[in-house]
Amino acid sequence: MDSNADIEAGLPAGPRLLACVIDPENGQVARDLAAAQGWRNPVILDGGVAAAHNYIEKSPPPTLLIVDIDDVDDPVQSLAALAEFCPPDMGVIAIGSRNELTLYRALIDLGVTDYVTKPITLAMLENSLCGEKRPNAGMAPRNQAQIVSFMGARGGVGTTTVAGSVAWALAYVYQKRVALLDFDMHFGNLALSFDLIPAPGMREALEYPARIDSRLLNSAMLQESPRLKVLAAEEPMVDEVHVASGAVDAMLNVLRGDNDFIIVDLPRHLGEEIRRMLTLSGTIGIVTDLSLASARDTLRLADFAKTLTPAARHLVVANNVGAKHRGEIAQGEFERVTAIHLDYAVPFEPSAALTTSSTGNVLTSALRHTKAAAALRDVAMRLAGYEQKPAKKSLLSGLAKLPLPKLGGAFSASALMPGFLKRSA
């Protein structure tokens, strides 16, 4: 709403900013936003949608509303009811604790400028404000990148190979705009997989989220192609990187507007920033081999991921299937003892390491005609939303599922199963 127009029309002008928040710290962030923008006399109220509804129903509406949706069970319906009292050009930034892609899309379709998940920072609100200032912001949904995180059940299972190959297939096969992130800032190999040299900037962005903007990230990202960009680091081992609170959210808020997919290669530890990235992910892929040790950790990690993000899509990708020298058990036995269905099985490709390292290309690019590359393209196809034609069933495939007779004295992988796996069988 234009305050000058209101004054000329003899109408009382509403505040430039109305923030209805449940948590005091979020109220302070809203005040910081007003100060940074030079807005005078912001109205900060204790409460969420109900407080906003009560204020706007009785007073001139603000130009920008920041509203906490955690006080209502159905945010979309509640905000739709509030919209009846709001002018069409009023900006609305919703904040809340729910990290659900469906909720974000529903709010954007409703006309909300942006939805920011807690904990919020000044940089996050400023990024949302950039969207509010664009022409017709809120009248059409903004691009919402799908966030896909891959984590290995154990070290050396090929998580970087899977993440890089899937990102490459999305960019080259399905023509998607992809941002590929390597969150292992000391030992990450994603940049190396594409024959790229990490540029400074990722660490600064994560340690000082207030500085995060598109210019900083664009200078730090490595362009593998116009559709595929890589964000990675190679920090000195003596340095300890401290990821600031809210940095992951701020980074993703900048990246998601310019990409169709954000593919993340997560290191195998569960620090605060890793948990936050998992929480924000719409898809979580666990990469494993078919060893007994990986069976145990796949089971634990899958349970953890589903507990942390029950609304996300969860995939389990078996990599290097057929590498017998790794202590591999049969795929059917792996699935039986873990009670986990393997969504994809990527065959072991003996020449992968030599070919990819010598060409500076990921597996799907360097060995695109192999069965391993085809399996990784299938993962990308599912993420891109294309249906895979079901394979025709044969008599032999049915016979393969029949139980085998027990052979006395013969070697059995189940004989070596740890107790926890036997209990899961």
Do 175 and 129 share a structural domain? Answer: no
- The verdict on residue 44 lying in a domain is yes
Q: Residue 166: its pLDDT value, please?
A: 94
**In 10 A of CB 407, how many CB atoms?**
8
Arithmetic mean of pLDDT, 92-99: 92
Could you give the CA distance from residue 194 to residue 263 in angstroms, rounded to a whole number? 15
Query: What pLDDT band is residue 325 in, cutting at 50, 70 and 90?
Result: low
Q: Which domain holds residue 103?
A: 13-133
- 58-84: average pLDDT: 88
72 belongs to a structural domain: yes
Lay out the sheet containing 344-347: strands in order across.
222-225, 228-231, 178-182, 261-266, 146-152, 283-288, 313-321, 344-347
361-373 average pLDDT score = 70
**Residue-level pLDDT at 246:** 85
CB contact at 8 A, 282 and 313: yes
- Alpha-carbon distance of 23 to 12, in angstroms, equals 29
Q: How far apart are CA 284 and CA 279, in angstroms?
A: 9
Question: Which stretches of 109-162 are assigned E, i.e. beta strand?
Answer: 114-117, 146-152
Band (pLDDT 50/70/90 cuts) for residue 383 is very high
Same domain, 277 and 377: yes
Residue 237 three-state SS? coil
Query: 29-33, 170-174, 383-387 — which is least confidently predicted?
Result: 383-387
- Reading the block at residue 360, the tokens are 């500076």
Give me the mean pLDDT over the 82-109 stretch: 84
Same domain membership, residue 222 and residue 129: no
Q: Residue 153 falls within a domain, yes or no?
A: yes
Residue 406 has pLDDT above 70, yes or no: no
Which CATH number belongs to the domain containing residue 375 in this structure? 3.40.50.300
Is pLDDT above 50 for 411?
no
**Does pLDDT of 315 surpass 90?**
yes
- How many whole angstroms separate alpha carbon 425 and alpha carbon 422? 5
Q: Looking at the structure, do residues 89 and 218 belong to the same domain, yes or no?
A: no
> 335 and 194 share a domain?
yes
CB 151 within 8 A of CB 301: yes
For residue 423, is pLDDT > 60?
no
Around Cβ 3, how many Cβ atoms within 10 Å? 15
Q: If DSSP codes are grouped into helix, strand and coil, which group holds residue 348?
A: coil
Task: Specify whether the backbone of 136 is left (phi greater than 0), alpha (psi in -120 to 50) or beta.
Answer: left
Same domain, yes or no: 221 and 284? yes
pLDDT of 414 higher than 60: no
Tell me: do 122 and 169 sit in the same domain.
Answer: no
Biggest distance spanned by C-alpha atoms of the chain: 95
Q: Determine which of 127-131, 187-191, 295-299, 304-308 has the lowest per-residue pLDDT on average.
A: 127-131
Nearest C-alpha neighbor of 285 from the set 271, 269, 264: 264
CATH number reported for the structural domain that contains residue 53 in this entry: 3.40.50.2300
Model confidence band, residue 287 (pLDDT cutoffs 50, 70, 90): very high
Kindly state whether residue 299 falls inside one of the protein's structural domains. yes
Q: For the ranges 5-19, 145-159, 334-348, which has the lowest average pLDDT?
A: 5-19
Residue predicted with more confidence, 418 or 310: 310
Would the pLDDT of 217 be above 50? yes
pLDDT surpassing 50 at residue 410? no
Q: Which two tokens stand for residue 4?
A: 């000058």
- Report yes or no on 233 lying in a domain: yes
| 127 shares its domain with 212 | no
Residue 328: inside a domain: yes
Tell me whether residue 277 is in a domain: yes
Q: Which residue has the tokens 């940074």?
A: 36
Say yes or no: 119 and 202 in one domain.
no
Q: Are residues 182 and 326 in the same domain?
A: yes
Same domain flag for 65 and 152: no
pLDDT at 3 over 60: no
Span 33-57, pLDDT tens digits: 998 888 888 999 999 999 998 998 8
First to last CA, the chain: 63
Using the 3D structure, point to which of 133, 156, 177 is the last residue of a domain: 133
Answer yes or no: do 127 and 251 share one domain.
Answer: no
Q: How many domains does the chain have?
A: 2
Contacts of 177 by beta carbon, 8 Å cutoff, 6+ apart = 171, 227, 258, 259, 260, 261
- Mean pLDDT, the chain, integer: 80
> Can you tell me the mean pLDDT for 289-308?
92
Question: Is 93 part of any domain?
Answer: yes
Place of tokens 């159905």: 74
Residue 230: both structure tokens together = 């890589």
Report the range out of 83-97, 158-172, 324-338, 375-389 with the highest average pLDDT: 158-172
Please say if the pLDDT value at position 346 is more than 50.
yes
Domain boundary among 80, 100, 133: 133
Residue 376 and residue 166 in contact, taking contact as beta carbons nearer than 8 Å? yes
